[in-house]
Amino acid sequence: KHLSRLPSIDPNTRTLLVTGYPNVGKSSFMNKITRADVEVQPYAFTTKSLFVGHFDYKYLRWQVIDTPGILDKPLEERNTIEMQAVTALAHLQCCVLYFLDLSETCGWSLEDQIKLFENIKPLFANKPLVIIANKVDAKPYDQLSSEHKELLEKVSETSGAKILQMSSHADIGVTDVKRMACEKLIEKRVETKMKSKKLGN
């Protein structure tokens, strides 16, 4: 029902949903894995657009979605229509990729970026989740302060999500992130099918 509000998104296509503050490297990642085949889709009733890209993995077609202005600020800062978009996205069968900019050149501190993650995390309670420590070319993981390392370890622990290091810019870890996100969603879909079979018996 909700998905009719989202432009040209096939709810049955395997989906990677890219989230995080602006300028943390989401579109660079999308351009990398989709060979820059990204369409900008206007959102009904808002000035926002969705970016939808496609790629193949294991001979299957996948879509990757970036949601500027929707999943890149705390939930309480949204109006009703934006909230509807958020709800629609929360209904997608997807693997959620949350991007953190380790270098903080996006304009938000790592603490703020983690706060946003905690804020939108409840939307994705039952979805596979991967946290991306991005821009490691500008700020290598091992150069982080011990406080920042501790913060990241805690986030990984409480969310059950693995943290993967990446830099689209330097082409570090991009393929690993794509593979891990796709495999997590494939596992989840198999699990869901098994569950529904058990219920059916």
Query: What integer is the mean pLDDT of 172-191?
Result: 95
Q: Vertex 22, ends 128 and 17: CA angle to 5°?
A: 25
Lowest mean pLDDT among 4-8, 29-33, 170-174: 4-8
Give the tens place of pLDDT for each residue, 107-117: 999 999 999 99
User: Is the Cα dihedral 75, 102, 29, 158 positive or negative?
Assistant: negative
Directed axis angle between helix 174-200 and helix 26-33, to 10°? 80
Predicted confidence at residue 42, as pLDDT, reads 63
User: Over 70: is that where the pLDDT of 176 sits?
Assistant: yes
Query: What integer is the mean pLDDT of 72-88?
Result: 78
Predicted confidence at residue 84, as pLDDT, reads 77
What mean pLDDT value characterizes the chain? 87
Greater model confidence, 43 or 160: 160
pTM of the predicted model as reported, rounded to 2 decimal places: 0.89
| Confidence grade of residue 23 (pLDDT, cut at 50, 70, 90) | confident
Query: What integer is the mean pLDDT of 186-191?
Result: 92
d(CA 5, CA 24): 26
For residue 170, CA distances in Å to 13, 105, 130, 165, 190 come to 29, 16, 20, 12, 34
